[in-house]
Amino acid sequence: MSTSQFRGQKPIDALYQKLSTLYANRWEAQFRSEHQVDLWKECWAEELDELEVTFDEVKQGLKRCLELYDWPPSFPEFLKACRPALDYEACFYEAVEQMRFRADGKDKWSSPAVYWAAVKLGNDMGSDIYMNLKKRWKTALDQVINDIAAGVLPNEVPVRPKLVEPPKRASGKEYSQAATCHLSLAKEILEREPAWKTRLREKGGNPDAGGMKSIGECLAAQVLVKD
């Protein structure tokens, strides 16, 4: 736990102050001298560090202490509050349900570990019952918890990317307008005078005259113009 999360205080000093605030006189009554306070801080700091209890776990532990204990917790009680025993079966059914909701982007997870364990088991999550997957599920969940603690996996559920909606299909009216536009363009192209007619006209020929003779005359006119 970094000191920056405790406004410059040592983490154990912040924890002591928090418990003192939550339990007031009941907390202070445990300590008869400053020496006992120092012993408490030294002991708890050492145990928390050795067990690698995280900042988030301590936050969870403090919240659960208020739900579980009317009196200040001992260290074993506080540790249980920080790390409640996993209900593997409940986590499994949560994963099955939330993976279905995830298809619509409506999934809500109690812990990222449950999500990553579900990812680890893949399609088997929705195609087999808990009793058949019990051993694999426990192994997967324990593994991802360790991976998250070690930084191998992120301690968050990734946001599911939104699917791109297919392009809206044009209505009959829109199709009709498009067809009319294309027909007008085709008509304009067909009615446009061909380039060869334009060139003959510019050179004194008559491209509109009919018959083989007129064509020969036009060709001759082209030759004369070139010469």
Q: How many CB atoms lie within 10 A of CB 198?
A: 12
pLDDT for res 138:
93
Tokens representing residue 110 in the block: 């109690």
Percent of the chain scored above 90 by pLDDT?
46
pLDDT for res 35:
95
Distance in angstroms (rounded) separating the CA atoms of residues 220 and 200: 11
Segment among 76-85, 102-111, 177-186, 193-202 with least mean pLDDT: 193-202
pLDDT for res 177:
73
Instruction: Express each pLDDT in 114-163 by its tens digit.
Output: 999 999 999 888 888 899 999 999 999 999 988 988 889 999 999 876 65
Tell me the average pLDDT across 79-90: 88
Q: At what angle do helices 195-202 and 211-226 cross, to 10 degrees?
A: 60
Closest to 47 (Cα-Cα) out of 98, 83, 96? 83
Distance in angstroms (rounded) separating the CA atoms of residues 169 and 6: 57
Give the pLDDT band of residue 213 (cuts 50, 70, 90): very low
Tell me the average pLDDT across 19-24: 92
Percent of the chain scored above 70 by pLDDT?
75
The amino acid present at 152, given as its one-letter code, is V
Instruction: Express each pLDDT in 24-40 by its tens digit.
Output: 899 999 999 999 999 99
Is the full-model pTM beyond 0.85? Answer: no
Tell me the average pLDDT across 10-16: 92
Tokens representing residue 161 in the block: 């990317």
pLDDT for res 123:
87
Tell me the average pLDDT across 70-93: 91
